[in-house]
Amino acid sequence: MSAPQFDQARRQIADTCRELARRGLVLGTAGNVSVRVARPGSAEADAFGTSDAFAITPTGGDFATMEAHHVVLVDADGHVLAGDLQPTSELGLHLGLYRSSDTGAIVHTHAPMATAVSCVLDELPCIHYQMLALGGAIPVATYATFGTQELVRSVLGAMEGRPAVLMANHGALTHGQNLEIAVAHTLLLEWACEMYWRAASIGKPRALDTEQQMAVIRQVLVRNYGTTQPIAEAD
């Protein structure tokens, strides 16, 4: 069984896995990535004879050597629709997030800085305005054994609509409307964790207060921050 969207998602997920390994964010098999492939009523869903479909990495899949054919397709209940391998042991976590949100892609890693911070803090304070792209301060979900419903409840409970969460003594989970954005959130979270670690090594990091964060959001709206602008339109 195949469809262009699944083939494309498989290639995209495999490329992303190798890139995450190359950047040192995933060691061996320590992570998982998924993409929403079909929504209810879509042509893709009809092609698969299902309502929802998600492409996801296999359990035990080595990120550095991930290939498109390793990626499997599952429905909303976790049944394998296509592919030869068993899906990741964190399948329940991915499906739980897809069920509770409209998100399009999810990345879970044991990235070193995020994992280190998750072993110490109950929340990563908003120490830099770039963190507002992740919703500001990042909650740390209570520890639970990997692959359990307890971990799913802990992570989804801590997330509360944010695109990123740290998982105590475990790692990080980010999501976004597509895989590119989900990966960008992973990279930004890892950067923020490293900045916190560097700052904390020389003193107590200051956090931005609510008023400072609101001022940044107003400034972003006024200046259209983060986008290039023709000279004629710039002030």
Catalogue the active-site residues: 90
Half-sphere exposure of 13 toward its Cβ, with a 13 Å CA cutoff? 33
Q: In what order do the strands lie in the sheet with 164-167?
A: 80-82, 72-74, 53-56, 31-38, 105-109, 171-176, 164-167, 138-141, 123-124
CA–CA separation, 130 vs 139, rounded Å? 16
**Residues whose CB falls within 8 Å of the CB of residue 116, separated by 6 or more in sequence, listed in order:** 193, 197
Please give the torsion angle defined by the CA atoms of residues 31, 37, 38 and 39, in that order, rounded to the nearest 10 degrees.
60
81 phi, psi to nearest 5 deg: -95, -30
Q: What Å distances lie between residue 152 and 27, 165, 200, 212, CA to CA?
A: 22, 12, 30, 33
Q: What Å distances lie between residue 233 and 122, 224, 226, 230, CA to CA?
A: 44, 11, 15, 6
